[in-house]
């Protein structure tokens, strides 16, 4: 699981909704043009829209003064609890996410 965000001016841009199950392959920045370019692989997008699974996505964000890019690692697979209510499941997932290890990529 990956988490990344770019701060352009005072606006926060989160790519979690579209790339939450993807992999961040590369991050590059250019201070002179204030851009951040992300190279990502998100096979679930391709399978949903009929795009080949080997397609990589290049996302360039302009006007970036500060970028925080991180990668989070699952410590172990999440185990579903049979019969859990929706609130219980949400709480368990939230607790599971707290156990992840995150590190900076840029």
Q: Which H or E element spans position 38? A: strand 35-41
Supply the pLDDT for residue 3.
41
Per-position pLDDT tens, the chain of length 106: 344 444 444 566 667 667 767 788 888 889 899 998 989 888 877 777 888 888 898 989 888 887 776 677 777 787 888 888 989 988 888 888 888 877 776 5
Using the structure block, give the residue that is written with the tokens 């707290």: 98
Q: Please state the domain extents for the chain.
A: 2-73
22-40 pLDDT, tens digit per residue, is 788 888 889 899 998 989 8
Q: What is the pTM of this model?
A: 0.55
């Amino acid at each position: 699981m990956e988490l990344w965000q770019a701060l352009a001016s005072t606006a926060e841009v989160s790519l979690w909704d579209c790339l939450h199950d993807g992999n961040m392959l590369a991050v590059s920045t250019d201070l002179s043009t204030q851009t951040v370019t992300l190279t990502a692989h998100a096979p679930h997008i391709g399978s949903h829209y009929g795009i080949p699974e080997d397609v990589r996505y290049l996302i360039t964000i302009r006007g970036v003064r500060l970028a925080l890019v991180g990668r989070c690692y699952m410590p172990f697979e999440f185990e579903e609890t049979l019969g859990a209510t929706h609130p219980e499941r949400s709480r368990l997932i939230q607790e599971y996410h707290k156990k992840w290890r995150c590190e900076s990529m840029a």
